[in-house]
């Protein structure tokens, strides 16, 4: 019996031996987190959340403020970025179990959290804001929260602050906790009137009133705080490198560029305009959606960006006319109509075909501009003319600004209205503030469209 039994042992024994041999390697991989281990593995594992403010997928491409900042950090390290999403309450546990190297998820630095992890230097200042529906006139200041019902996600600094107000000021706030429900979703519920009050960090609150113009950012309930990345308490070298990167990113303008892409102009809020925009996405856009998609696909453009351009040009009104003589959905000039071979600028299909085709011709001329900035240069050219944008580039060079970056042209285009600057340019005077405003409005509309199912 023993002999037979022994004869049957080798297969499982070998498997068990291999498994045991692999265990230390697996444990090492799972619990790595030092800077040297990250570089050796060639991978930076970032724990984050899947939402509009941190990380999401759009047209098959990863996006989000935290994603782009983390991607820039992985590039600086010369390693690949690996994104790992988890529930809000599980992020620090996942980090400390070695399932990721750092947490980058818009996390506020607090003393309580600092007991569990180590934080980087702060990279964004935020302030907790009360968010209510615009029709809510009862909630105007902090004292109005007494005995009110406030909905927040469980495990947030919002919950902690509300509990402090109850303890310190005896406010009797009824705190309703939502498990792992994004703050954006609670803001949506406020807009719809499903709940009355929530709390959000200022960057989230300001951004989301674009998507839900029916909400009002009422007042702060906390002093300004900082967002930071978190690492394990044993990851000193990694933490030092993160702080170096954040300092360098702010000094070089890299951080500012990423910030502008996601939070630029969030403080500019035109309720009437945005409310009309949301309405017309339902009443006007469906009539032209197919033709916009067709023309956008023809040139490899995102149709939602083209829709944002059309809205900025005509508010999706095919009969729109300007005092300057431009007409139609894309406000095509007579010269452009002839160049693009259309006969009726008020015909929606012809207008979209001519406008998108002409934008593509401009886009081709900016081949030296990389990334999304190439589209921004093209849009500015569509608005004010290619030559004036070239003039703004020359001004940027004179001011030691990078002429291939849109952030530089935001500074120099407005100078074209001032004689001492435009007198030495090729194309002379231009209302240079208009293309900057034009591009920024398009980006606001585009941001909304990307988040909406239209």
Interatomic CA distance for residues 68 and 39, integer angstroms: 19
Examine residue 17 and state whether it is found in any structural domain, yes or no: no
Point out which residues pair with 217 in neighbouring strands: 131
- For residue 285, the Cα-to-chain-centroid distance in whole angstroms is 24
* Residues 6 or more apart whose Cβ sits within 8 Å of residue 98: 30, 31, 32, 33, 232
Q: DSSP letter for 88, please.
A: G
Examine residue 54 and state whether it is found in any structural domain, yes or no: yes
Gyration radius of the chain over CA positions: 27
pLDDT of residue 112 exceeding 90: yes
pLDDT at 32: 56
Interatomic CA distance for residues 291 and 373, integer angstroms: 26
Domain limits for position 340: 272-451
Share of the chain above pLDDT 70, in %: 93
Shared domain check, 280 and 370 = yes
pLDDT of residue 371 exceeding 60: yes
Q: Mean pLDDT over residues 357-379, rounded?
A: 97
**Which stretches of 104-235 are DSSP H helices?**
111-114, 157-169, 183-192, 202-211
Examine residue 68 and state whether it is found in any structural domain, yes or no: yes
Interatomic CA distance for residues 33 and 49, integer angstroms: 19
Distances from the Cα of 155 to the Cαs of 111, 354, 362, in angstroms? 14, 53, 50
Shared domain check, 133 and 108 = no
pLDDT digits (tens, 9 = 90+) for 25-57: 344 444 555 899 999 999 999 999 998 889 998
Q: What average pLDDT does the chain have?
A: 91
pLDDT at 12: 44
Token pair, residue 130, equals 């009360």
pLDDT of residue 252 exceeding 70: yes
Strands 43-48 and 102-108: parallel
Catalytic residue selected from 313, 339, 367, 405? 313
pLDDT digits (tens, 9 = 90+) for 278-289: 999 999 999 999
Shared domain check, 254 and 175 = no
Examine residue 26 and state whether it is found in any structural domain, yes or no: no
313 is catalytic: yes
Neighbours of 429 (CB within 10 A): 14
pLDDT at 34: 83
Count of domains forming the chain: 3
Q: Mean pLDDT over residues 196-221, rounded?
A: 96
Interatomic CA distance for residues 97 and 103, integer angstroms: 12
Strands 43-48 and 80-85: parallel
Strands 43-48 and 118-119: unpaired
Strands 225-231 and 118-119: antiparallel
**Which CATH number goes with the domain that contains 180?**
3.40.190.10
Helix axes 348-365, 285-299, angle to 10 degrees: 30
């Amino acid at each position: 019996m023993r002999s037979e039994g022994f004869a049957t042992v080798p297969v499982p024994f070998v498997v068990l031996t291999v498994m045991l041999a692999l265990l230390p390697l697996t444990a090492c991989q799972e619990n790595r987190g030092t800077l040297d281990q990250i570089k050796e593995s060639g991978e930076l594992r970032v724990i984050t959340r899947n939402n509009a403010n941190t990380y999401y997928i759009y047209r098959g491409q990863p996006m989000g403020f935290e994603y782009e900042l983390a991607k820039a950090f992985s590039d600086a390290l010369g390693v690949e970025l690996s994104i790992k999403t988890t529930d809000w309450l599980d992020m620090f546990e996942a980090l400390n179990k070695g399932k990721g190297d750092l947490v980058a998820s818009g996390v506020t630095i607090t003393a309580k959290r600092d007991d569990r992890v180590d934080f980087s230097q702060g990279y964004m200042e935020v302030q907790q804001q009360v968010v209510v529906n615009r029709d809510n006139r009862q909630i105007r200041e902090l004292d109005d929260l007494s005995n009110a019902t406030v909905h927040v996600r469980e495990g947030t600094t919002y919950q902690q602050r509300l509990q402090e107000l109850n303890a310190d000021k005896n406010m009797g706030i009824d705190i309703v906790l939502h498990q792992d429900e994004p703050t954006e979703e609670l803001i949506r519920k406020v807009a719809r009137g499903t709940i009355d009050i929530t709390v959000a960090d200022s960057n989230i609150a300001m951004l989301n009133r674009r998507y839900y113009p029916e909400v009002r950012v009422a007042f702060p309930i906390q002093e300004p705080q900082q967002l930071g990345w978190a690492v394990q308490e044993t990851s000193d070298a990694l933490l030092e490198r993160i702080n170096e990167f954040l300092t360098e990113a702010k000094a070089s303008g890299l951080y500012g560029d990423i910030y502008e892409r996601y939070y630029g102009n969030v403080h500019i809020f035109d309720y009437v305009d945005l409310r009309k925009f949301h309405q017309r996405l339902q009443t006007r856009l469906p009539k032209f959606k197919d033709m916009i998609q067709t023309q956008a696909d023809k040139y490899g453009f995102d149709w939602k960006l083209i829709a944002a351009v059309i809205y900025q040009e005509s508010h999706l009104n095919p009969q729109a006319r300007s005092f300057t003589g431009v007409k139609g959905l894309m406000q095509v000039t007579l010269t452009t109509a002839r160049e693009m071979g259309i006969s009726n600028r008020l015909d929606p299909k012809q207008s979209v075909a001519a406008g998108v085709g002409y934008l593509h011709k401009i886009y081709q001329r900016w081949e030296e501009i990389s990334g999304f900035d190439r589209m921004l240069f093209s849009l500015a050219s569509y608005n004010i003319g290619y030559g004036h944008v070239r003039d703004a580039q020359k001004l940027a060079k004179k001011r030691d600004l990078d002429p291939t970056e849109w952030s530089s042209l935001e500074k120099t285009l407005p100078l074209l209205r001032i004689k001492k600057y435009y007198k030495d340019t090729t194309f002379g005077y231009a209302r240079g503030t208009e293309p900057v405003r034009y591009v920024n409005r398009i980006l606001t509309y585009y941001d909304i469209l990307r988040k909406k199912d239209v």
